[in-house]
Structures are given as C-alpha cells and as structure tokens.
Amino acid sequence: MIVRLDEATVAFEVNTAHIDTAPVDLANVVTGPIDTAPAVLTDLFSTPVAAVLQRAHHRLASSGWCTNALVDADGARCMLGVIRIEAHGDRRLEGDAAGVLLDAIRRQFGDGVDSVASFNDAHGTARIPLRMVDQAAGLADARGL
C-alpha cells in the first residue's frame, strides 16, 4: 500500500508541476475565532432540572472540566461542581439534577457506579463526563423534571 501511495504522490507532482501558483501570505490568514463572545444557549429545556443539566453541559464544554475538586484554580469544574453553580443555590434542584445524572450514568455503566463524584474522578478526559451530562439533560426532559 505504501508503494502505491508513493507512486500516486509522484504522479501527482509530475502532473501538476506545470501549474503556476502564487505563494500564500500566512500573515493574512485568520488563526483564531472571529467571534470571541461566549455562546448563548437559546433553546433551553423547559423543565428546571433538564435546563440546569443543559447549562451545566454548556459550562463544562466552555469553561473546562476537572477531577478531584468541585472547582480547580483555573475555574474548571467537576460534574457536581458545575451542577452546583448552575442550580444557583437551590439545593433541591441541585440534588434532583445530580440524581438524574447518576441514573443516566448507571443506565450506561451499570449499578456498580457508587456516585457522580467517583465516576467523574475515574476519567482522565472530559469526553465521557460531558456526554453523560448531556444525556442526563435529555433524560430529565423526557421525565418532565
């Protein structure tokens, strides 16, 4: 396969050698986002627990995720820390959101998961915790919570 790719590369170079191209000035190429304003959630779930989980997912994605702390020095939060901040001090709403999140986690990973905190700390990247918070938001909405 490598020999065939090498032959194709050589053939491409031979076939395109006669085409005149102007050098690209990379100083004029945009290298970052043009709009640096934070994204605003517009399509929030109508139920309170689902909306908290949806906002929590958005905050985790935009502000960062961490382990072994509710919030780290850079402002990144764990799954429970982000629910706490998005519940705005409403402990009942916070507890309901954490309960739905644990249900969503157990649906996918089994009843052996002890808590949201242990699940959060068992991961090395934010990919799976982010996905689980998003799925929990959908689950809460489906339950009308």
Which backbone phi and psi does 138 adopt, to 5 degrees? Answer: -65, -40
Would you state the structure tokens that stand for residue 145, as one six-digit string?
């919570």
40 vs 72, which has greater pLDDT?
A: 72
Model's pTM, two decimal places?
0.70
Per-residue pLDDT, 59: 92
Sequence-ordered alpha helix ranges (H) in the chain:
2-16, 48-63, 79-86, 91-109, 116-121, 127-143
pLDDT digits (tens, 9 = 90+) for 90-119: 999 999 999 999 999 999 999 999 999 999
In single-letter form, the type of residue at position 54 comes to: Q
65, β-bridge pairs: 77
Please identify which residue in the block is written with the tokens 């809460």. Answer: 140
